[in-house]
Structures are given as structure tokens and as C-alpha cells.
Amino acid sequence: MDFQFTDEQRMIKETVYKWAVNELGPLQEKIDDEDWFPPDFFKKCAEIGILGITIDEKYGGLGGDVLMQTLAVEQMSRICPALGMTYGTHSNLCMNNIHRNASEALKEKYLPSMVAGEKIGALGLTEPNAGSDAMGLRTRAVRKGDKYVLNGTKMFITNGPVADVILVYAKTDPERGAKGISAFIVEKEFPGYKVSRKLRKCGMRGSPTGELVFEDCEVPAENLVGEENKGVNVVTSGLDIERIVLAGGSLGMAHQALDYSIRYSVEREQFGRPIASFQMIQQKLADMYARTEAAKLLVYKAAQVARNSPRGGKGTELTKLAAAGILFAAETATWVCDQAVQIHGGYGYCLEFPVQKLWRDAKLYEIGAGTSEIRRLIVARELTREEFARKSSR
């Protein structure tokens, strides 16, 4: 498969990295130390035109593909993984799902302001007792006249504390299980909605994460996304794309950790020579490079397949590749960042050196957007699906 970037993809990659170095680089210490979210972040993203990469031009977007979106998250995450994740959540988990599933009226109402950075988006799926078992969610939505009334709690919601628009999943027919889920667009001003708390994290500091509560929250009936009780289609059709785009965050961290390690190992001297001349360090650098490049190729391949299978869905080659891509990229990033800390020695464990922040940040992608364990189950399911079908037909 040819991974030569198009001019548009190359431009996004270069533009986002240069912007992140200049705009986010000087803020890194404050963002991490204070768990601080820059209030003008989305406005600045809008200024360089990256909030609507996969959104049609008629809503203000670029009409680009999944690989362009993945590259943007990757390059931003090299400098600031936390804001790379916050950006990906807004532009992909929320906006892209609305773009692909909502009515024309809802798209016209919400997408232009989100592309312009005037409204911040989030995805409300995970609950205190429904993480890996996402279909086991308990938030309930009951139709009452021209409104739905939502009751329940969402947990670990990226952008939750600052979001203006939340794509929320709730049970409209609990007896039907996964076939009784519906999706809604909720605004922060709707009666009965509140952010109950902002969560404290050891990594990805600066990316606001919170718990959201719905207490008789009134949502206009026209804010139903797709059909009632068909929300599972919205969920599953977006998961493959979500995994690919967020895998870009892991690629960015692994890339940057390797860069830091190469630079440090050449400058750092022990026993009268640079530690880069020691075979044990050379082995680490070689393995870090090989795994990072392998992860990139797998994720980029999944992104190219996604371009030809925009809906994704259960039982597709895309599902397998997307799960494998984020599985390998996330575990690669965690391992590469751990090796980077080891190469830096005592300095790597000190807060003054940025490599320790990558180390703390990387772990989250083995947990969020489906744990590594769940991703392995998905890949294995897809690998054996056809063989089980043949066996049952004999």
C-alpha cells in the first residue's frame, strides 16, 4: 500500500507541527503543572483551519479524509498529547459523528459553530459502571411530548468540563438492551444538565476530563441523532474511525520520545564518550525506531481503508485494522516512552525533563477508546469470524 502523502495531507502535517511548536510548546510547563486548559485553544485551532478536517465544506470544513485527521492529532501530540486528545475528541468523536449521522437541520445548527471553535464538543458514552461494556449503559431517555427527559451519569468524559455540545447515548427501550439505545445532542444550557466534577489525572493534564450528570435533563425531540433505538449504529459506525484518529496521539508521543532520546544520548557523556556509542543504548534506539515506524504503517493503512469504508461497521476489514492499529500504537508508545525515561536515567524521572510527561501521558491510550484487552478480543473475533461461519454451515 502506498503511503506517499498527498499535498493536502503533507500540508496538514507540517502546519500542525509548526503551530504546535510555536503556540503550545511555550505553554507546556503551565499546562502540565497546573492541569490548565488554554481557553483560546479551539479558537486558535480554527484559525489554522483544522477543526473541520473531515467536515463538508458547506459547514465550513475542509472535506478531508481520516488520514489527514490522524496526522493532525499525531503532530499536535508530539508537543502536547493532552491537547491532541482534546482536539481529537472535539473534531472526531463529537463533530464527525454528528456529521455522519445527524439530520441536515442538526448539522446546519451545530457544525459551523464547532468548526469555527465557538462551541466545544464532547462524547458522552462511558458511565461509572459501563466502560468496556459500553452497551450496558444505564442513562435513560423517556419521550414526553416534544422532548426527551434524560437521567443518568457519564464518567471519564474528555472535554466534559468545558463542552458546549455533547453527543450523549441513553437507553430509550431498556428491555431491548443494545437495540434500545438512542443518541442525542445535548447543550450545556439544557435544564437538568450539569458537570458534577472535574477529574484529577496523573497524565494528560490540561485535557479537561469530567463526570456529567443528567437529572430530568430536557432535550428537544429534534435533537435525536438518527432513529430512536438505533443509537448502537451511531456508536459502532464511529468506533473504527475513533480508534484510528486517536491512535495518532500514540504515534506522536512515540515519535517525540524517540527524538528526545536520540538527542540526549548523543549529548550525554559517561566514561568519556556519548552514551549513544554504547551498544545497549543503540539497541534501545533501534528497537524504539522499528516499533514506532511499524505502528505508523499499521495506523496509516487503517486510515486509508477507512477512506474507502466511511461507515465502518461490525465484521469488516476496517474493524480489524482499526482495533489492531490503536492496540499496537498505544502499547508501542507506552514502551517507547518507558525506554526514553530509562535512556535519560535520573534526569528522565525529573519533572524538568519533558520525557517523563510523555511517559505519564502515553498510558491513557491503552485504557481509553477501548482497553487493550477489548481491542485484542475484537481482532481475534474478526480473525475467526469466517472460519466459525464455515464451521456452522457444515
Active site residues: 242
Q: For cell 526514553, what's the residue?
A: 340
Q: Is 219 helix (H, G, I), strand (E, B) or coil?
A: strand
DSSP state for residue 216 in the 8-state scheme:
E
Under 8 Å between Cβ of 266 and 274: yes
Adjacent-strand bridge partners of 123: 167
**Neighbour count for residue 92 (Cβ, 10 Å):** 27
3-state secondary structure 251-292: HHHHHHHHHHHHHHHHHCEECCEEHHHCHHHHHHHHHHHHHH
Three-state secondary-structure class, residue 187 = strand
Instruction: Concatenate the DSSP letters of all residues of 343-394 into one string.
Output: HHGGGGGSTTSTHHHHHHHHGGGGTTTS-HHHHHHHHHHHHHHHHHHHHHH-
Query: What would the DSSP string read from start to end of 52-79?
Result: TTTS-GGGT-----HHHHHHHHHHHHHH
Q: Could you tell me if 197 and 210 are in contact, meaning their C-beta atoms sit under 8 angstroms apart?
A: yes
